Structures are given as structure tokens and as C-alpha cells.
Amino acid sequence: MAHPTTPSPGVPGEDATRRNFLLYATSAVAVSGTALALWPFIHSMNPAADVLALSSSEVDLKPIAVGQSITVTWRGKPVFIRHRTPEEIKAAESVQLFDLRDPQPDSQRAKKPEWLVLVGVCTHLGCIPLGQKSSDPRGDFGGWFCPCHGSHYDTSGRIRKGPAPANLAVPDYTFLTDTTIRIG
Amino acid sequence: MSAPANQNKIIKWVDDRLPIFTLMQHSAIEYPTPRNLNYWWNFGSLAGFMLVVMILSGIFLAMSYTAHVDYAFDSVERIMRDVNYGWLLRYLHMNGASMFFLTVLIHIFRGMYYGSFKAPREVLWWLGILLYLAMMATAFMGYVLPWGQMSFWGATVITNLFSAIPVVGSSIVTWLWGGFSVGNPTLNRFFAFHYLLPFVIFAIMFLHVWALHTVKSNNPLGIDVKGPQDTIPFHPYYTIKDLYGIGLFLMVYLFFVFYYPNLFGEPDNYIPANPMVTPPHIVPEWYFLPFYAILRAVPNKLLGVVMMFSAIIVLFFLPWLDTSRVRSARFRPIYKQFFWIFLADCIVLGVVGANPPEGIYVLMGQIATFWYFFHFLVLLPVLGKVEKTRPLPDSISTPVIKKSMEKA
């Protein structure tokens, strides 16, 4: 469409450079302003203050007998705590690291050898492995067995067989006393 | 020019199958716009901007809101205290409602002043009133969601309006509530509708813009575009003007958000809903006050409700009630004065609506209500026939060209 009385944008000459400068400056301000304005919206989807406040759990280990396991909730996920028997500890410590998919010595995974603390979420696709109850299948290595896609974990929670790529995660935890831990 | 000039192959391939780039080129870039639009024409795009802000902030608020009578109030307080930037989202949404109404009301009054509702823009005007109605419904239901005292009693009072309907009134109210009082089912359905209606508004807005682009924009002179010399392309002339308007408008909007976030709200709504105690003084949000005043001006339940709804329905008939063939108030010296009187009348109604219905406010409310309907039903039809209008210019560009000729 022709507009004889008004110069159309993009006409070469001095006017055009000035117009281009204004266009780029305006666009830059608009884009960065919009990006900054979007941040509060995006950040509102991150964990809120009350959710973060619940991000540590304390557990009393006294009632757990040797060979027994309990499951506690931490950040909405199950955490496995197993009071390992001497045989289980021995089995975990005697494994050759080159036999492992995700090589890690047992000493790195348990602060005190008799207490094993793990995030009970299979590293394959997030199911909860079996093995907490004495009646559960514990897989070929006496640890845990994930029923979803058949991953086997050993008595140190390390992946030994099946599709999972990594060992069961060890959460941050500290011994507050000899028999109390705080997870997170 | 039928398609973007700087077309690359991919754009062309898509455009041949779905002419979305051509559509954008036609309606947002080339769209021939009268060259003489003033700043009152910014408020349409401002309203559209506010709709986007409301939908965005609303969706993110909904992610942290719980629509249950036992949790709603606390979930809103959690948004204010615990959710990252939750306070900002909520204040943007709360004050955004007021700003949305402000822009739309200015947009409506601009249409009245410049006769934008007249032929051939009747359907455009109707769609606008539908938008206004849908906005009011959405705003009302949104106000219920925090489940404070004003939420609860506002919901009770407004839904009870329908009990004025003869015979089936009370059954309708029970149906609206999903129970025998405003309760959890009411809150749940209000949340569902409050989430749905903005998208309906968005769809109507699309039709509104479609109608606009079919009949083209009115302008301050109220005369038709005679040819290309009367128009300029929408981009860059009006995109930059609208952007500038948004910049100024954001300063006003964010001033309230950051410095007076609760100015438009009622303190009583920070008290959790209590079905056993009504607050001593119930007031709706400011944008409902004129209609609230009309409702209370009539000392009869059914008639009051009918009058209140008629106050909006009458707007649909405005294109035929105003019989003048001249659109713009610039050339209608008498209408121009009555326009300002009408605006003042609406403000008086708002003041009356904000005050308790006693003493002088009763009489003021009745006079202002009378004038509201008198303006539409008697004044406008008669005025159009008897008013002597000023001569209209030949075209939009004539006065401009004349001026520049004189200069030269």
C-alpha cells in the first residue's frame, strides 16, 4: 500500500539508520524487560518456603534391630535405613570395584558400617525397589530388587544387574548422637 | 502486498498451507489505521495487555491455590508468605482486576464520546459489551476465591439477586449454590468458572478485533476514511504508540502493586469467611459500585434487580437510541455537554454505591439512577433529532493538508 505523505520504514538514508537504532534499542529494552518480568512467574514454581522448611528429617535408630530395615519419608521420598548384619557388611566390602557398574567402595557409602542410609528410589525410572521387608525379594545380591524393570542392588545399595545406570543415592545425613541421624 | 516482503522459504512454505504470516501482515502490520487517532485509542490495546497479565498471573496463582472452604483462605496466605514471589503474583492479579476495568471503562466512554458504537460498528460494540459482562462475572467469582468475609458475603448477596425472580427464584439460587447456602460446592464451581471465563473473554476479544478489522477503526473526527491518504500502517506507527502507552500505564499499575497493593481491597477480606456473622458494611469492588447504587435506589427487590441488569442491557441498544448521524462529540456541542454530565452521573452513582444507603445518599442514588436511564432512553433519541451539529470536515487528511499548505 502506498502512503505518499508518510515515509515508510526502511527507506535508505540518514532517517533509516536512526530508525533502525531506535528499533533495536526498543526491542532490546522490551525483550530484557519481559525476560525480567517473567522470572517471578517461573520462580514461583520452585519449592516454596514452607516446602524448604520440611527438607530435613530426624530419625531415632535405637528401635531398629540388627538385620532389620525401616523406611522413613524425607522430602516426600522414601529413605531406606538398614541395620546391616556382619555378613551383609562383609559381602558389601569384599566386592571388587571393577565388578561394579558405578564403582564406589562400601566405606564411601556408609558412615558407620552397620548403618546403611539410602534414598529408596530406583535410579532407572523412579520406582521404589523391594527388599525392606524380610518377605520381599532382594534380588541376586541380597540387597534390593526393583520390580518395575528388574534392577538388582547389593547390600551396599549398588547397582549390580538390570537397566539402572547408578547406585541408589546416599542422602546427606549426619549422626547427631550414636543412635540419631538427621537426613538433609 | 499480500504476503511478507522479506519472505524466506520456510515462512513461505508454512504460509502457503496456513496463511498465518499473511494474516499477521494484514492485521498487525499493514492494517490501515486512521492517521488522527489520539491517546484515548490506546485503551483497547491496554485492555488486551491486561487480559494477558491477568491470565498469566492467574494461572500461576492457581498452581498454589486450593479451592476448598477449609484450605482456600490459608492457601492464599501461603501464597503471600511462602510461595516465591507469591505476594507479587497476587498483588498483580488483585490490582490487575482494577486496572483491567479502568482501561475497559475508559475504552467504553471513549466509544461513547466519539460515537464508535454507531453503524457500521454495532456488532463490534455488542461484542465489547459481552466482554464487559464476561469480565464482571469473572471478577465477581474471582473475588470469592480467597474465602474471606467479603468473598463469602459478596457471593451470598450477589447470588441472592436471582432469588428476586418470581416462582423459580429460590430454586435457581439453590442450584447456583449447589446447596442451601454458599459453601464448598459454590467455591469449587466458582473456581472452575473463574478459570474458564478468561479464555472465553479471549475468544470474544478475538471476535472483537476481527469485527474491528472488518469495519476499521473509528477516529476522533468520527468521519469515514476516504482513501489511503487518511490512513497510516498500524506498524510501526501504532505499535510504537501502543507500546509507549503500555509503558506509561505500567507505571500507574505497578505504583499500586508496589506501594498501595491493598488500596482497592477491603480489609474485611483478610478475615476468614464466617457464615454466622455478616460484616457491618458490605461494599462490592469499586467497578461494581454504580450498578450496586442502582440496585439499592429502587425500594423493591425484583424491580431493583431488573433495573441493575437493565443498566447494562440498555448499552446493547445504544446504536439505535442515539439517533444522531454525526458520530464524534466534537461536532455535537450539546451532546458533548451531556456526555460529561453522564460521566459525572456514573461517578455519583459510584460514590452512592460506596456509602451506606441512608440520609442524602438515598435521594442522590435515586436521582442519579433516574438520570442514567433518562440519558439513554429519552435524551439521546431526542437530542439526535433536534441538535444542530457543527459542519464535518471533508476528510481526515483535509485539515492536516490545509494546515501544511498554509505553513508553506
pLDDT tens digits, A63-85: 999 999 999 999 889 999 999 99
Please give the grid coordinates belonging to residue B361: 445518599
Q: With respect to CATH, is domain B285-390 assigned 3.30.70.360? A: no
Average confidence (pLDDT) over B55-81: 97
Question: Would you tell me which residues 349-408 of chain B have a C-beta closer than 8 angstroms to some C-beta of chain A?
Answer: 397
- Grid coordinates given for B36: 488522527
Contact B229 A4 (CB under 8 A): yes
The pLDDT tens digits for B231-241 are: 999 998 999 99
Q: Could you tell me what percent of chain B has a pLDDT over 90? A: 92
Please report which confidence band the pLDDT of residue A1 belongs to, taking 50, 70 and 90 as the band edges. very low
Q: Using CB atoms, pick whichever of B81, B84, B237 lies closest to residue A44.
A: B84
- pLDDT for residue B177: 96
Distance of CA A63 to the CA centre of its chain: 28
pLDDT value of residue B4 = 52
Given the residues B15, B266, B285, B322, select the one marked as catalytic: B285
A2 pLDDT band, cuts 50/70/90, is very low
In sequence order, the β-bridge partners of residue A57 are A183
Alpha-carbon gap, residue B222 to B335, rounded angstroms: 14
Higher pLDDT, B79 or A53: B79
Q: Is the pLDDT of residue A9 over 70?
A: no
Name the helix (H) or strand (E) containing B77: helix B72-81
Could you give phi then psi for residue A53, rounded to 5 degrees? -65, -20
Q: Where in chain B is the domain with CATH 1.20.810.10?
A: 29-218+227-282
Q: Is B299 exposed, middle or buried (0-12, 13-18, 19+ CB in 10 A)?
A: exposed
d(CA B390, CA B403): 20
Q: How far is A77 from chain B (nearest CA, A)?
A: 21
Q: How many angstroms separate the CA atoms of A143 and A136, rounded? A: 10
Beginning with the edge strand found earlier in the chain, give each strand of the sheet holding A159-161 in spatial order.
A142-146, A151-154, A159-161
At B251-268, the pLDDT tens digits run: 999 999 999 999 999 999
Per-residue cell: B44: 483497547
pLDDT of B123-158, one tens digit each?
999 999 999 999 999 999 999 999 999 999 999 999
Mean pLDDT, residues B197-219: 97
**CATH code at B29-218+227-282:** 1.20.810.10
Per-residue pLDDT, B1: 42
The SS3 of residue A145 is strand
Is the bond into B120 cis (omega within 30 degrees of 0)?
yes
**What whole-number distance in Å separates Cα of residue B129 and Cα of residue B135?**
10
pLDDT of B347-368, one tens digit each? 999 999 999 988 999 999 999 9
Closest to A183 (Cα-Cα) out of A116, A126, A129? A116
* Span of A16-20, B18-22, B231-235 with lowest mean pLDDT: A16-20
The beta-strand segments (E) located in B214-322 are 231-233
CA neighbours closer than 13 Å in the CB half-sphere of residue B30 = 14
pLDDT at A12: 56
Best A41, A42, A43, A46 residue to mutate vs chain B (most B CBs within 10 Å): A41
Q: Where in chain B is CATH 1.10.287.980?
A: 285-390
8 Å CB contact between B164 and B301: yes
Q: What is the dihedral of CA A20, A22, A24, A25, to 10 degrees?
A: 160
Q: What are the cell numbers at B126?
A: 455488542
Q: B86 in contact with A at a CB cutoff of 8 Å?
A: yes
- pLDDT band (50, 70, 90) for residue A14: low
Q: Quick check: B349 and B293 in contact, CB under 8 A?
A: yes
Residue in A112, A104, A115, A113 with CA at minimum distance from that of residue A169: A104
pLDDT of B64 > 50? The answer is yes
Which chain A residue has the Cα nearest residue B30? A1
Dump pLDDT digits (tens) for B369-404.
999 999 999 999 999 999 999 999 999 988 777 777
Q: Can you tell me the distance from the alpha carbon of B388 to that of B100, in angstroms, rounded to the nearest whole number?
A: 37
Closest of B288, B283, B282, B347 to residue B140, by C-alpha:
B288
For residue A99, what pLDDT band results from cuts at 50, 70 and 90? Answer: confident
Q: How confident is the model at residue B282 (pLDDT cuts 50, 70, 90)?
A: confident
A9/B236 CB distance under 8 A: yes
- Identify whether the C-beta of residue B187 lies closer than 8 Å to the C-beta of residue B362: no
**CA A80, A85, A86: angle at the middle one, nearest 5?**
135
Total residues found in chain B within this entry: 408
Helices assigned H by DSSP within A2-153: 14-43, 49-52, 86-93, 106-109
C-alpha cell at B33: 489505521
Q: Smallest CA–CA separation between B116 and chain A, in Å?
A: 25
Active site residue B194: no
* Residue A34 grid cell: 519481559
Per-chain mean pLDDT for chain B: 94
Pick A40's closest partner by Cβ from B1, B35, B89. B89
Average pLDDT, integer, range B75-97: 97
pTM: 0.88
B2 band by pLDDT with thresholds 50, 70 and 90: very low
The minimal CB distance from A44 to the residues B83, B231, B237 is found for: B83
Q: What is the DSSP pairing of strand A173-177 with strand A159-161?
A: unpaired
**Which member of A2, A40, A48 has the closest CB to residue B88?**
A40
